[in-house]
Amino acid sequence: MSSYTELSATEIAEAIRTGVVSALAVTEAHLARIAEVNPAVNAATVVLADRAREAAAAQDARIAAGEQAGPLAGVPISVKENIDLTWSATTSGLPWATEHLPPAHASFVTKLLDAGAIPVARGNMPDIGLRWDTDNDLYGRTFNPWDRGRVPGGSSGGDAVIVATGMAAAGLGNDYGGSLRLPAHAAGIVALRPSAGRVPAPTRQITPVDLSLQAFAVNGPLARTVADLDLLFGVMHGADDVDPWSVTVPHPSSYDGPRRVAVTADPAGWGVEPQVAAAVRAAADALAAAGWQVEEAEPPQVDRCATLWRQISASEMGPGLLTPGVFPGPLSAGTVKYFADNVAGVELLDTAPAYAAAWAERHALAALWRQFHTRYPVVLGPVTTAAMPAIGWDLTGPEATTEQWRQHRLLVTANFLGLPAVAVPTGLADGRPQGVQVISRLHGEHIALAAARDIEAARGALTPIDPRP
């Protein structure tokens, strides 16, 4: 592994800005790393080698001419397959979308490019992004670099593995039901799910979509350090002139408010595996040692938030995914099987009053969480209450899809309420990454990042790594 591929995004940008290394040398090192590692994990779908070299050379020329380099000068990044980048098709993992070349970058991608970031690869995902695994009929399966027999998480699994194995310093993904935090957790890296609206839509071609996609999904960064998450989010956040729900809110560089943490190792009391509870306790100890006031306290109605997330998402997505002819081509058998099983285990909101009542209840639950966050600015809990499952477990029937949703109950609660959350590793359990998430109030990204930074300082980083057999 080249020393350049072990550096954080912050370190790379500083080294390039100060002339310690050229952007082209850093880019070549990461392209070489992709060639070395990607065959074992199948995380990078498209390698943007020529574009990356051109961008790096242009970066070096500007610096040589005395121009001011951006905050992400020469930082190699990956871009998920459902985020618009004009250099390659936005496929969402679908074989029939390989000619879908977007007319413009997503606006936050443009911000990152303007800041000096260099896309080196696309990241793999499950088709449509609606599975907690990363596999599709276009590019195939992405493998967990820690254990090939277990899923890498999804849907931003390709980008998480790219970052974890040193193929890029950071990645871009999105999160509708944990799709940034879960694969980051599986890979042993960090990820930020921003508040709803803080980062605009992944495409500048806005079309009618399900209401839950507007309310629950958001784009965000993956990286190997919390400082890098802060750096990337500081560049990419803010409204654009297309996404009507995007907002611009100041992003403070630090947090100096109340430092109280509500700890929940077993949200809603549905059960938690011992190594997960141990990780939450380790993170709580780290925060206490850093001066946070840590208390055992159950956040409001996680069971109800998770249940409504599942009911709304299944009610909206199920008919479209399972009806032949809705899409221009077929979805993968895995996605169809997963969602058929998932819908079978859900009481669907199949009347207008029931659907409307669910959204109305969301408002009341959000108010309860707002009040709770007034007392506890940070909620600390598991990303998932169980170990990452074996490949194929989620396709074994409705019981498995229900159990997986239960394991991810705190994960999807943040999506349901539109809250910011950071996944951060705490160490290894049985040779695989273990970690936690910290959730803060709406637009409190800086609060969640501050807590995650203190956990990271105590527990250390796990990546980059070479793929395990």
- Catalytic positions: 80, 155, 179
349 three-class SS: coil
* Beta carbons within 8 Å of 79's beta carbon, 6+ residues apart: 85, 109, 119, 121, 122, 123, 159, 171, 172
Question: In Å, what is the CA distance from 71 to each residue of 112, 378, 455?
Answer: 9, 28, 25
Q: CA-CA distance, 394 to 14, in Å (whole number)?
A: 43
Longest C-alpha distance within the chain, in Å? 64
> Which of 265, 268, 271, 270 is closest to 295 using CA atoms?
265
Please, what is the angle between helix 226-236 and helix 9-17, to 10°?
70
Whether residue 280 contacts residue 266, with contact meaning beta carbons closer than 8 Å, is answered with no
CA-to-CA dists, residue 12 to 6, 16, 20, 72, angstroms: 9, 6, 9, 8
* Residue in the block written with tokens 């970031």: 117
Amino acid at residue number 466 = D
| Closest residue by Cα to residue 178 from 405, 4, 441 | 405
CB 180 within 8 A of CB 417: no
Read off the tokens for 207.
């079309």
